[in-house]
Each structure stands twice: as C-alpha cells, then as structure tokens.
C-alpha cells in the first residue's frame, strides 16, 4: 500500500477516538421508536421530529436520545433542548 495512504489511515484511527473534532451541521435520520418510526432532522442547530410530543414541546425522547449519543459532535446550541422549557425535569413534571 502507498505509504501516504497508510499515514492517513493511522491518522483516521486517531481521529476516530476524538469525536469532539467533528461538529454536525445538519442531519436527517429515522428513529425506530417504541411504537413507530419517526423522522428527525437537525438544521441550523434546530431540531425537528414528526412525533406528536415534539409538536407541543419542541423536543422529545427521540431528540433527547440523539443529543446524548452525539453530544460531543453537536454545536452548543444543538445540545440544548429547543423547547422554551430547557429543563427536562420540568417537562416530565408538566406531563405527570
Ligand atoms: Zn420525537
């Protein structure tokens, strides 16, 4: 194999251990929820999901799960809940 490519593969291996190097700007994904699939997207650091909970709260379990998984790869704004209620405990309290 070409030595330049070997060097790149080694570098990639190191980079793969450092997810904070990556900032996801936009994404589109399907989330297999407990009852049905949901379409999630991130654009300009704003999340959206087609589930009914999101329509009311501007965040949901699917987005919160995404935020946990991709935490280090999200811009600070995208790590926050998009809901005016930023505290998930408050949201849980409002539902009970
Ligand atoms: Zn959702």
Domain count, the chain: 1
- Tell me the β-bridge partners of 28: 41
Block residue for tokens 């809940």 = 81
pLDDT digits (tens, 9 = 90+) for 1-19: 789 999 999 999 999 999 9
Say whether pLDDT at 71 is over 80.
yes
Cα 25 from Cα 66, distance rounded (Å): 14
CA of 63 to the centre of ligand 1 (A): 6
CA of 94 to the centre of ligand 1 (A): 17
Strands (E), 33-82: 37-43, 46-49
CA of 48 to the centre of ligand 1 (A): 8
Q: What residue numbers bound the domain in which 50 lies?
A: 3-95
Sorting pLDDT into bands at 50, 70 and 90, what band is 82? low
């Amino acid at each position: 194999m070409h030595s330049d490519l070997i060097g790149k593969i080694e570098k990639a291996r190191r980079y793969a251990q450092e997810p904070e190097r990556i900032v996801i700007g936009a994404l589109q994904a399907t989330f297999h929820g407990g009852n049905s699939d949901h379409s999630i997207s991130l654009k300009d650091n704003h999340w959206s999901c087609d589930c009914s909970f999101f329509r009311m709260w501007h965040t949901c379990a699917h987005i919160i799960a995404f935020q946990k998984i991709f935490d280090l790869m999200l811009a600070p704004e995208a790590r926050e809940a998009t809901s005016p209620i930023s505290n998930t405990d408050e949201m849980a309290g409002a539902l009970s």
